[in-house]
């Protein structure tokens, strides 16, 4: 049997094409790093003398507390967005091109929350505008909704480099902002798209296939909102047979809206 010819240049090109298709379009280190292990490692603070005029870099715990205080101070969604644009406590802000705050109608009765923006979202500055966003639009249309009737956001408003999973520290720093965003939007129904969103907002440790489709409540501090977890559109693109489960969840959302129509008023 003849030996198969091996072309390293062709192999490297194919690998790069595969990386791009998977969303890996940035290299942040020369060697692999286990960022989850780093997040679990105790932080050792070193005493550093800052240069004149330099802004102090907050420790992770300090950044989370700063985020909590800033988020609580926002009187409305515009103010919250402005605070996020100036917030420097999350390192993702320095690697992302855009702040991806929200899309849709903040007065909408349903609010969808995913995990973090992807490459297309980072480029445009709006959540769910890539392939998964196009699928979400079709899912909304199937139950008679569109982006003018719903509000869409993410737990993390900045894209992690290469679409990597956000670290626990990054998620913790950003969480006060999404919690305040939900409180200010005050939807009738909160829909968590995917496991990370459900685990962060609905206090569940279950995987998404176990937690999806079950009504629970989300407490904003001023009232309790009906909440539901469902499959992330990106997961459905990889596992199209699971669209039947998401369709059940979206029909459940439609039924809940029809059963409790919002009274007429300025935000109807």
pLDDT digits (tens, 9 = 90+) for 142-182: 999 999 999 999 999 999 999 999 999 999 999 999 999 99
10 is a domain residue: no
Rounded CA gap, 227 and 218, in Å?
6
pLDDT digits (tens, 9 = 90+) for 187-207: 999 999 999 999 999 999 999
229 is a domain residue: yes
The secondary structure element, H or E, covering residue 228 is strand 224-230
pLDDT exceeds 90 at position 9: no
Q: Helix, strand, coil shares of the chain as percentages rounded to 5?
A: 45, 10, 45
Which residue is it, tokens 């992690």?
160
> What CATH number did the domain enclosing 112 receive?
3.40.470.10
- DSSP for 109-143 reads SEEEEES---HHHHHHTSSS-SHHHHHHHHHHHHT
pLDDT at res. 46: 37
* Domain range for 226: 60-258
pLDDT digits (tens, 9 = 90+) for 82-136: 999 999 999 999 999 999 999 999 999 999 999 999 999 999 999 999 999 999 9
121 is a domain residue: yes
Contact in structure between 25 and 162 (CB atoms under 8 Å): yes
Whole-model pTM?
0.77
User: How many domains are there within the chain?
Assistant: 1
Query: Averaged over 202-213, what is the pLDDT?
Result: 95
| Cα 91 versus chain centre, distance | 16
pLDDT at res. 55: 43
Side-chain half-sphere exposure of 201, counting CA atoms within 13 A: 39
34 is a domain residue: no
Rounded CA gap, 198 and 230, in Å?
8
Q: How far is CA 22 from CA 44, 189, 195, in A?
A: 35, 32, 19
């Amino acid at each position: 049997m003849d030996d198969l010819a091996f072309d390293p240049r062709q192999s490297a090109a194919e690998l790069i094409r595969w990386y791009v298709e998977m969303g890996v379009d940035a290299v942040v280190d020369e060697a692999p790093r286990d960022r989850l292990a780093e997040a679990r490692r105790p932080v050792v603070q070193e005493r550093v003398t800052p240069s004149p005029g330099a802004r102090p870099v907050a420790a992770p715990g300090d950044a989370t507390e700063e985020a909590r205080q800033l988020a609580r101070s926002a009187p409305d969604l515009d103010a919250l967005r402005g605070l996020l644009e100036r917030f420097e406590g999350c390192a993702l802000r320095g690697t992302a091109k855009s702040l991806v705050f929200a899309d849709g109608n903040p007065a909408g009765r349903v609010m969808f929350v995913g995990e973090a923006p992807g490459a297309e979202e980072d480029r445009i500055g709006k959540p769910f505008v890539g392939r998964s966003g196009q699928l979400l639009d079709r899912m909304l249309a199937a139950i008679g909704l569109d982006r003018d009737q719903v509000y869409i956001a993410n737990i993390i408003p900045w894209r992690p480099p290469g679409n990597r999973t956000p670290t626990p520290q990054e998620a913790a720093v950003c969480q006060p902002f999404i919690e305040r965003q939900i409180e200010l939007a005050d939807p009738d129904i909160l829909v968590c798209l995917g496991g990370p969103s459900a685990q962060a907002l609905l206090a569940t440790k279950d995987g998404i296939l176990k937690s999806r489709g079950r009504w629970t409540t989300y407490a904003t501090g001023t009232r309790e909102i009906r909440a539901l977890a469902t499959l992330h559109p990106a997961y459905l693109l990889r596992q199209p047979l699971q669209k039947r489960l998401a369709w059940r969840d979206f029909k459940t959302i439609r039924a809940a809206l029809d059963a409790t129509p919002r009274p007429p008023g300025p935000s109807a």
